[in-house]
Amino acid sequence: MANEIALKYGCNPNQKPARIFMADGGELPVKVINGKAGYINFLDALNGYQLVRELKAATGLPAAASFKHVSPAGAAVGLPLTDTLRKIYFVPETDKLTPLACAYARARGADRMSSFGDFISLSDECDAATARLISREVSDGVIAPGYSPKALEILTKKRDSAYTMIEIDPSYEPAALERKMCFGVTFEQGRNSYQITEDVLSNVVTARKDMTAEEKRDLIISLITLKYTQSNSVCFAKDGQAIGVGAGQQSRIHCTRLAGNKADLWHLRQSEKVLSLPLLPTRKRPERDNTIDLYLNSDECGDVLDEGNWQKYFSVRPEPFTAEEKKAYLATVTGVALGSDAFFPFGDNIERAHRSGVTAIAQPGGSIRDDNVIETCDKYGIAMAFDGIRLFHH
């Protein structure tokens, strides 16, 4: 390990010189073993690694995250993939997956458009199965505690060996105080070392008191994800993974709408109407992602189904997915967990969450309108815990 690493540039190409180093003169806990990392790459890598390390500690399962611009597009633990998830994540049935590979496929698949050009974080040594999945996608790089020889061979072949690979010392623990600068002024604060466990869900304030084991697991995943998401932020989670992250919004309802819309798209991609889309086999994965997104978001799918236009996307013209059909499909969704990094000030957030199948919520509480928020949860039979912790991250 070195005590400093020179970077290509800072946030933008005009911001030079740029480097990372240890202020105390000690050795960095990371080394670049392939490619050349940038300033934002390292911010994504170090935030993402903290997230997956905490997910593994909380769940006992390998974890992965997909970061873009210092917020996660997806985060997940290593639960097996269903046949449907394999299809929407473009994972061939013939691929033999390890738990870490499953975690990566889930993290990448949560919001595939946002994950385009991401930075990947892995809680465990990158194995060959995970490396094969990574090598098929467009990403800037990966951080992991290590790489198996086969994984190194697979990943160093990507992009003419320019693919950035960072190795981190898994035993590294940062100092209790952290600093950053803004406009020449140094800020200092205690590191957010709060450990998120199932204990934070004990104060259930709604009429429905029971939460399933799956709901509790997914609430923990959502809260740990929020701990490393630019605030304000809200996270929808289901089946061991984040399925919709709303980050960096000034209004909490906008966080909830953004995350809820992403969660809805994740569910709609599993519908038979989308699974059976006759996508052109010649189109690459990012193009297929864009086509599916257009199909689901266009007004009556007009953008991709217009006469003379659909041939660019499909081998035969598919039927539109109408607003009524989508609404009916989403009405069947249930068992979604929702975490918030600060209190919900109004019941409108719960109304929006209910439309995306939310049945369990964790938030700090403390609003003068807590009674209204609880009442709205009770209207829909949603269990809500006041976890008492604010998770702002900037």
Last residue of a domain, one of 150, 173, 196: 173
Q: Annotated catalytic, 394? A: yes
Alpha carbon distance 337, 363 (integer Å): 11
Tell me the whole-structure pTM to 2 decimals: 0.96
Evaluate whether residue 391 is within a structural domain: no
Number of domains in the chain: 3
Q: Are residues 301 and 355 in the same domain?
A: no
What amino acid is encoded at 351 in this protein?
E
Q: Which of 34, 41, 56, 68 is catalytic?
A: 68
Task: Please identify which of the residues 14, 96, 209, 394 carries the catalytic annotation.
Answer: 394
Are both 200 and 156 inside the same structural domain? no
Same domain membership, residue 149 and residue 297: no
394 occurs within a structural domain: no
Which of 119, 141, 173 terminates a domain? The answer is: 173
Q: Catalytic site residue 354?
A: no
Alpha-carbon distance 142 to 41, whole Å? Answer: 9
pLDDT tens per residue, range 203-240: 999 999 999 999 999 999 999 999 999 999 999 999 99
pLDDT at res. 163: 83
Cβ neighbours of 35 (radius 10 Å): 19
Domain extent, residue 314, equals: 272-320
Using the predicted structure, report yes or no on whether residue 179 has a pLDDT greater than 70: yes
Assess contact for 111 and 245: CB atoms under 8 A: yes
DSSP character for 162?
Answer: T
Cβ neighbours, 10 Å, residue 147: 24
For residue 377, give the DSSP letter: H
Instruction: Provide the token pair at 13.
Output: 């190409």
Cβ–Cβ < 8 Å for 161, 22: no
CA distance 347 to 335: 19
Tell me the pairing of strands 383-386 and 358-363.
parallel
Same domain, 247 and 305: no
Per the domain annotation, does 89 fall within a domain? yes
Instruction: Please check whether residue 185 lies inside any domain of the structure.
Output: yes
My answer on whether 209 and 147 are in the same domain is no
Q: Are residues 343 and 380 in the same domain?
A: yes
Quick check: is 393 catalytic? no
Active site residue 69: yes
Residues 68-92 have pLDDT tens digits of 999 999 999 999 999 999 999 999 9
**pLDDT tens digits, residue range 17-48?**
999 999 988 999 999 999 999 999 999 999 99
Indicate if 230 and 369 belong to the same structural domain.
yes
Of the three residues 153, 173, 193, the one that is the final residue of a domain is: 173
Please, which contacts does 296-305 make with residues 24 or more away whose CB atoms are closer than 8 Å? 296/265, 296/268, 296/269, 296/321, 296/326, 297/265
281 and 261 in a common domain: no
Q: Rounded to 5 degrees, what are φ and ψ at 244?
A: -165, 120
Exactly one of 69, 150, 254, 393 is catalytic; which is it?
69
Q: The CATH number of the domain where 238 resides is what?
A: 3.40.140.20
Residues 207 and 259 in one domain: yes
- Residue 42 shares a structural domain with residue 115: yes
